[in-house]
Structure 1
Amino acid sequence: MYIQNFDPLNNMFLSAALAFLPIVYFFVVLIVFKVKGHWAAISTTVLAVALAGWVYDMPIVLSIMSAVHGALYGLFPIGWIVIGAVFLYNISVKTGQFEIIKKSIVSITDDRRLQLLLIAFSFGAFLEGAAGFGTPVAITSAMLIGMGFKAKKAACLSLLANTAPVAFGGLGIPVLVAAQVTGFSGDYIAKLLAMICPIIGFIVPFYLIIVMTGLKGLKEVWPAVLVTSISFSIPMALTSFFLGPILPDIIASLASMIALVLFLKVWQPKHVYRFENEADISDESTAVLSKKMIIKAWSPFIVLIMFIADWGMKSVSSVLDTVNILIPLPFLDKAIMNSTTNSLLAAVFNLNWLSTAGTGIILAAFMSCLILKVSLKKSIGIFASTINELKIALLTISGVLAYAYVANNSGMTTTMGLLVSKTGDMFPLFAPIVGWLGVFVTGSDTSANALFGKLQTTAFSAVGIMPVMGIGANLAGGAVGKMISPQSIAIAAGTTGLTGREGEIYKFSMKHSMILLAIICCIIYFYEGVFVSVLAAEAGTGAVQAAGSSSAGGSGVIILLISFCVILLARTMLASSSDKGLQHYKAH
């Protein structure tokens, strides 16, 4: 039995300094010494294991098994999601359909700035709201590269765009976990976030364009950016406040995509922004593209949206979870006690091979092969080559998660959070940093809330401020921490072919993440009066909402059957789309 000690040196500053050491080491070897990502992650894990034993007196078998648990989680479900996302993209490319997708986007706008808003911000927010866990970064960065963006630019901008929707990602899972940890209802927390997250959602589109092309570039397209920001932030605020935490990302992203597409039908920038030495294709004819060809080309991503939506429904997941395989980690399961809660930590590897989002994405890819008439042999060949392409990236992700689990189980992560909480009356200004650090270490806003949610509410209560503001600060700070999480960086690098160059992505991400974090810190600190006046009447309104009813299983089966029938119908309808049309397009 190992009892966590969050201040092993009896000096919080010194204990936290040693807890921060693996993070500092990771940055130094990546950015200064330019060590490849997988070696940086593995060596950081070794350092964390050594500190866990030397400083925190954690038995070596427990720290090693913690690393094994994290590495397994890195491969599944995180690595599985990345494989699925890249597999789907590779199918679109190898069948020639992505060329038509590019053409269809150009028919809306051939300005690279506006393409970035459509793909990385709006479509990425939809993927975050439906699936989360790295899906939006993997898919949107791959799509941007296919559109002609350089790999590094695609990775960095996709990470930046993904900050806006993180708090409500995966159908509100971060908020629902925060509710479980703190005792507040998910709807109550969502009302608080309705006054925080939409502000970031309004800022990010402007920020994206400034980062990409500077203030001059923003001046040329500000009407379209304004439309995107307003059509995203207002629906997010209203949905979060009145409907709860599950749908804000979905509704806001769809609203922003529709609004921007409709706006671009009546307005286009006078100056079309293209990359240097890039041919101008604005005057190329799009007459050869029929509606059926466009729908067929987009069918992999349409099927993806359908499957992600299905996999996110409780009624569907309750059916798919019936085949889960739970594997308690030897020596580790219930061998660690949290000294604050006096509870034993479960260490169970959940092999939810059917209900995980990655399986939904991979099935969507194979269903797309059916629609696109790709043979089973070729489909399997593309899948195998995708895994081979990502093997180093998967090693990096596993190494990063191995460190995260050692840091969490030993108590290092909590030590870092406790140091920030010692700031007294100034704590509201620094509270988002705790969530930011939590997501940096764990790679997940959900995990950061499970780790620091109670600490935040307790600290806010101690300084006489509404406790729910603490979880709001944790969620919002964690959202902008997602872009610097080693897990996110590894996913972005693996998807864009930049494995081994993670340090270059970090140089970009750290600066912009800290700028957005500073904005959130100011919002939390100066916005207290607004929070109190709006939320005071609803304080303590209800416990955490219960899970879905027992009847969910039947409806889940029906939803899945409907989805498969729709795909078969689509294949039949699109089968008449002659390959001659695609050949004619290529010839053109």
Structure 2
Amino acid sequence: MTSLFLSIIPIIILIWMMTKKNGLPSHIALPITALMVGALQLFYFGTDLTLISANIIAGILSAITPISIVAGAILLNRMIYLSGSEDIIRRWLEGISKNQVAQLMIIGWAFAFMIEGASGFGTPAAIAAPILVGLGFNPLKVAMLALVMNSVPVSFGAVGTPTWFGFSNLGLDDATLLATGKISALIHFVAAFVIPPLALRFIVSWQTIRQNYLFVLTSTLSCTVPYFMLAQWNYEFPALVGGAIGLILSVVVARFGLGLAHKEPQESVQMATGNETFANADTSVDLQVSVRTSNSHSNPLGTNSKGTDQAVPFSQIIKAMTPTILLITILIVTRIKQLGIKPLLTDSTEIFTLSLGPLGDFSISQALILKLSHIFGTDVSWAYKTLYVPALIPFLLVVLISIPLFKLEGHVVRQMFSETANRIKMPFIALVGALIMVKLMMTGGENSPIMTTGQAFSDLMGTSWQFVGAYLGALGAFFSGSATVSNLTFGAIQQTIAINVGLPQTTILALQSVGGAMGNMVCINNIIAVSTILGIANKEGYIIKRTVIPMLIYGIVAAIMSTLV
């Protein structure tokens, strides 16, 4: 009991620090929590100092992956803004429909659904959220909407990585893995009836949602029906194909105004020009956001600056969308292994090795995978897939292609990189704290704080475990920032519990997969990432307090569905 209490107390304190009135920002709260976990490992669990030190080094290095992705996303966002593409896209989307619900569903739901299917890694929020802010929506509310929306497709995100790789250490045959995916898809399909409305409520009123619910439902089903159908025979492409079909159908339906209210009630969504402040009465917070307007800055695209009511020429739309089209194309081509490029970007064949003495062995592979093995003589290691992590490819690559495409001047390019560097300083500290905490929570094998917590809850629940199993998956995503890592970490626990208490293995693993996906809503890494991209400071606790509600509802849906499959 003491081990369980000490295992969970750092997390309770972390949540309290970040969600209390005048809560601490994540770049302070997370390093404090990491220090607490380290002290517990050393003085209570008796973990060797060398092993603790090795995990601290691995945690620091592991922060390079998420921060490089965030940096790439911000750089692309600044390029799109400064080139004038953001204004063109905004005007085009307003031309499709000025209805706020339609805009939120097309970009925040269907477009993000497709991007999750291609890439994962938090990329959907990084790309979709700035577009919505460019349309005039409050950035803090957009961040919450993006986090909640990006849950349903996650189990099959990044071409199915959370499923086929997340459970790769469990010895499952392909039939069992497919059966697990089918159940996951069914639970997500049902949850999708409530998740988009809950996400929309962060921005618009229930009255507006009701008036436009036919469109909301149509847009939702246009993604989830093909998603569910494809999951019956494949666990790699449901999100990618479902999102692509859903995006096309959502745009077509919105263009004809089907299911949309002809006249919307006045909403408290404020537009911003230049660097104006978004007033937020609910949070008493001023968020400085740069939203491009038709008469601000020079315009490389040559757009009409006399207003936004005129139709946008098709050639301008294509040019403005080129970076996004390139991004999606590169993501798809590099993520589908059958095309032959993915193996080249993930080739781990070593071409260079160097001993760093006590620090470990450093190596570089043919695919430029950087790896540090045997840190301080332990089994702890770190690796960074330089060409596969979506930082250099596609983010930086697309930016470099776009600079001559839009004929951006040198001072503009310098501004892009300068603004990106300034935005990632504090998030980097927060991510270092988060990943050190995660590494230390997982140190100790079966006696680690994470395993102790999971096993204690399973012992307590017995055969009723299926009613809370999804929340363990969410806890893993909260810690690690990844549904894949959550499945890798807790998949074995869930499998053992299922066998021990006599529950269907595929059902419990599906709950784990769904839990890892819904945990994206409260995942610290994702919250930091989307907040950084949107220029939101010190609101992580505020966001968690609000996104945890739809996450809890998601878990209830999963629990009910687990009794019916």
Q: What TM-score, normalized by structure 2, do the two folds share?
A: 0.84
- 2:158 corresponds to which of 164, 170, 176: 170
The question of 1:292 aligning with 2:315 is answered yes
The question of 1:142 aligning with 2:133 is answered no
Matched residue, 1:271: 263
Q: Give 1:309 deviation, angstroms.
A: 1.2
Q: Secondary structure at the match of 1:213?
A: coil
Matched residue, 1:255: 245
The question of 1:371 aligning with 2:410 is answered no
Q: Secondary structure at the match of 2:220?
A: helix
Contact 1:434 1:474 (8 Å CA) reproduced: yes
Give deviations 1:466-521, integer Å, cap 9, x for gaps: 21212111001111111111111111221121232212212212222222222212
Residues 354 and 375 of structure 1: is their aligned pair in 2 closer, same or farther, counting only changes over 3 Å?
farther
Q: Give 1:167 deviation, angstroms.
A: 0.9
Matched residue, 1:491: 529
The question of 1:196 aligning with 2:187 is answered yes
Matched residue, 1:328: 373
Matched residue, 1:439: 477
Residues 279 and 446 of structure 1: is their aligned pair in 2 closer, same or farther, counting only changes over 3 Å?
closer
Q: Distance in 2 between matches of 1:86 and 1:418?
A: 40
Give deviations 1:430-450, integer Å, cap 9, x for gaps: 211211111111111111111
Q: Comparing 63-72 with 118-127, which one deviates more in the overlay?
A: 63-72
Q: Secondary structure at the match of 2:382?
A: strand
The question of 1:416 aligning with 2:453 is answered yes
Q: Distance in 1 between matches of 2:149 and 2:470?
A: 19
Matched residue, 1:46: 35
Which one-letter code corresponds to 2:495 in the other structure? Answer: T
Counting only pairs closer than 5 Å after superposition, residues 462-477 of structure 1 correspond to structure 2 as 462-477=500-515
Q: Comparing 142-151 with 99-108, which one deviates more in the overlay?
A: 142-151
Counting only pairs closer than 5 Å after superposition, residues 127-138 of structure 1 correspond to structure 2 as 127-138=115-126
Q: Give 1:364 deviation, angstroms.
A: 1.6
Could you list the runs of 5+ residues in structure 1 that have no partner in the other structure? 1-12, 335-346, 531-588
Give deviations 1:307-362, integer Å, cap 9, x for gaps: 2112213221221232222211522642xxxxxxxxxxxx3221321222222122
The question of 1:454 aligning with 2:454 is answered no
Contact 1:190 1:245 (8 Å CA) reproduced: yes
Could you list the runs of 5+ residues in structure 2 that have no partner in the other structure? 273-292, 294-305, 347-365
Q: Give 1:253 deviation, angstroms.
A: 0.9
Q: Give 1:369 deviation, angstroms.
A: 2.0
Contact 2:478 2:520 (8 Å CA) reproduced: yes
Contact 1:438 1:448 (8 Å CA) reproduced: yes
Give deviations 1:225-258, integer Å, cap 9, x for gaps: 111121111111111112x111111111111111
Which one-letter code corresponds to 2:212 in the other structure? Answer: V
Q: Comparing 54-63 with 77-86, which one deviates more in the overlay?
A: 54-63
Q: Distance in 1 between matches of 2:132 and 2:57?
A: 34
Contact 2:189 2:228 (8 Å CA) reproduced: yes
Matched residue, 2:547: 509
Residues 279 and 390 of structure 1: is their aligned pair in 2 closer, same or farther, counting only changes over 3 Å?
closer
Residues 71 and 112 of structure 1: is their aligned pair in 2 closer, same or farther, counting only changes over 3 Å?
farther
- 2:107 corresponds to which of 105, 111, 119: 119
Aligned length: 500
Matched residue, 2:144: 156
Give deviations 1:502-555, integer Å, cap 9, x for gaps: 12212212222222222212222x22xx3xxxxxxxxxxxxxxxxxxxxxxxxx
Contact 1:112 1:274 (8 Å CA) reproduced: no
Matched residue, 1:301: 324
Matched residue, 1:29: 17
Q: Comparing 246-255 with 305-314, which one deviates more in the overlay?
A: 305-314
Q: Comparing 129-138 with 186-195, which one deviates more in the overlay?
A: 186-195
Counting only pairs closer than 5 Å after superposition, residues 307-318 of structure 1 correspond to structure 2 as 307-314=330-337, 315-318=340-343
Q: Distance in 2 between matches of 1:445 and 1:26?
A: 21
Q: Distance in 2 between matches of 1:485 and 1:279?
A: 29
Q: Distance in 2 between matches of 1:362 and 1:238?
A: 35
Judging by fraction of residues, say which structure has more helix. Answer: 1
Q: Give 1:88 deviation, angstroms.
A: 0.7
Q: Secondary structure at the match of 1:327?
A: strand
- What root-mean-square deviation, in Å, do the aligned CA atoms of Structure 1 and Structure 2 show? 2.1
Give deviations 1:25-81, integer Å, cap 9, x for gaps: 111111214112101111111011011112211122322321221221122x11111
Matched residue, 1:407: 441
Which one-letter code corresponds to 1:425 in the other structure? Answer: T
Q: Distance in 1 between matches of 2:429 and 2:136?
A: 28
Contact 1:227 1:260 (8 Å CA) reproduced: yes
Q: Give 1:208 deviation, angstroms.
A: 2.2
Which one-letter code corresponds to 2:55 in the other structure? Answer: S
Q: Give 1:456 deviation, angstroms.
A: 0.9
Q: Distance in 1 between matches of 2:470 and 2:105?
A: 27
Q: Give 1:379 deviation, angstroms.
A: 3.0
Q: Distance in 2 between matches of 1:40 and 1:139?
A: 27
Q: Secondary structure at the match of 1:351?
A: strand
Contact 2:470 2:515 (8 Å CA) reproduced: yes
Q: Give 1:154 deviation, angstroms.
A: 1.2
Q: Secondary structure at the match of 1:325?
A: strand
